[in-house]
Amino acid sequence: MAAYRITNEDFYRYSNDGFFVVRGLFDSEEMTLLREAVDVDQDLAEAQYAVKDRQGGTAKIAIWQGTGDDLYGLVARSERIVNTVERLLGDEVYHWHSKMTIKVPREGGAWEWHQDYGYWYTYGCLYPDLATCMIAVDRATRENGCLQVLRGSHRMGRIDHDFQTQLGADPERIAEAVKRLEMVDCTLEAGDAIFFHCNLLHCSGQNKSPSPRRAFLCCYNARRNSPYKVVRHPQYTPLAKVPDSALKDAGLRIAKQEYSRRSHAQVVK
């Protein structure tokens, strides 16, 4: 299968809808490597921290900023992702952070409605020139809490967020947005991915299924949008892209990451 390269239609969907899905961005061999890495990576397991939702469920997340020659770093530096985000943002991009979200079977918690820029704004980025590629490590369905988005909600601009809880974006505005905008369930097979704007409103439900629901998210900032102050997230640092073949060439390579071991409020605000 030929490597994915962004089309004009995908660019239009991103501009108009705030997101688009790419089926089979990573093939079955690549996803087998990634799942094996997640399964055996003890540093990742120890770095996961729990985040409660409003119904008492618990989701888990691990966050890091490094992009080395390990499997995670090669995914984040792969041309199929980085070239796509550079087209979307119209500039050279650099790695903002990566994260693994985990919803364990039957007990995995929800992520409330929010915008990524609702949090990242406080890091000194003047513009919402950031985007994310979310890769389905496992099949994502409504039953196990797939991503849900409000089509076109990125055009609402930044919404105020509650930084002390997982409440997320302003409930009053969310209620009105849900009335007016189409809600889309982003069901994905392992290896599918969704690219989305940092102002797109998104959430996901609890995992009520007998299977895990894990997602690998690679986030990027435009070079021109480098934070104007020194913060916990990095200022512009050149990102060395690697060919799409690098993942299979490297195989199951895991490197110790500098994971964030803070509370969720400390990480996101």
Residue 60 lies in a domain: yes
Residue 226 lies in a domain: yes
Residue 88 has pLDDT above 90, yes or no: yes
Q: Is the dihedral of CA 196, 198, 200, 204 positive or negative?
A: positive
Residue 3 lies in a domain: no
Structure tokens at 9: 């239609």
Strand segments (E) across 73-212: 93-103, 111-114, 130-136, 147-150, 161-162, 168-169, 183-186, 193-197, 202-204
Residue 78 has pLDDT above 90, yes or no: yes
Residue that wins the pLDDT comparison between 94 and 269: 94
CA distance 227 to 207: 36
Residue 2 lies in a domain: no
* 36-54 mean pLDDT: 90
Q: What is the average pLDDT score of the chain?
A: 91
Residue 118 lies in a domain: yes
Model pLDDT, residue 251: 81
SS3 127: coil
Residue 6 lies in a domain: no
Residue 257 has pLDDT above 50, yes or no: yes
Which of 119, 115, 82 has its CA nearest to residue 220?
82
- CATH of residue 136's domain is 2.60.120.620
8 Å CB contact between 20 and 87? no
Written as one string, the DSSP assignment of 28-78 is HHHHHHHHHHHHH-HHHHHH-EEEE-TTS-EEEEEEE----SSHHHHHHHB
Structure tokens at 212: 């895990």
Domain count of the fold of the chain: 1
- Residue span of the structural domain in which 65 resides: 11-268
Q: Is the dihedral of CA 158, 159, 160, 164 positive or negative?
A: negative
Helix or strand (DSSP H, E) at 267: helix 264-268
- At residue 59 the predicted structure's pLDDT band, cuts being 50, 70 and 90, is very high
Residue that wins the pLDDT comparison between 9 and 160: 9
Q: Find residue 257's DSSP bridge partners.
A: none
Q: What is the pLDDT of residues 98-110, one digit of tens each?
A: 999 999 999 999 9
Q: What is the pLDDT of residues 186-203, one digit of tens each?
A: 999 999 999 999 999 999
Residue 4 lies in a domain: no
Task: Find the helix packing angle between 8-17 and 79-89, rounded to 10°.
Answer: 60
* 65-81 mean pLDDT: 93
Model pLDDT, residue 267: 44
Residue 5 lies in a domain: no
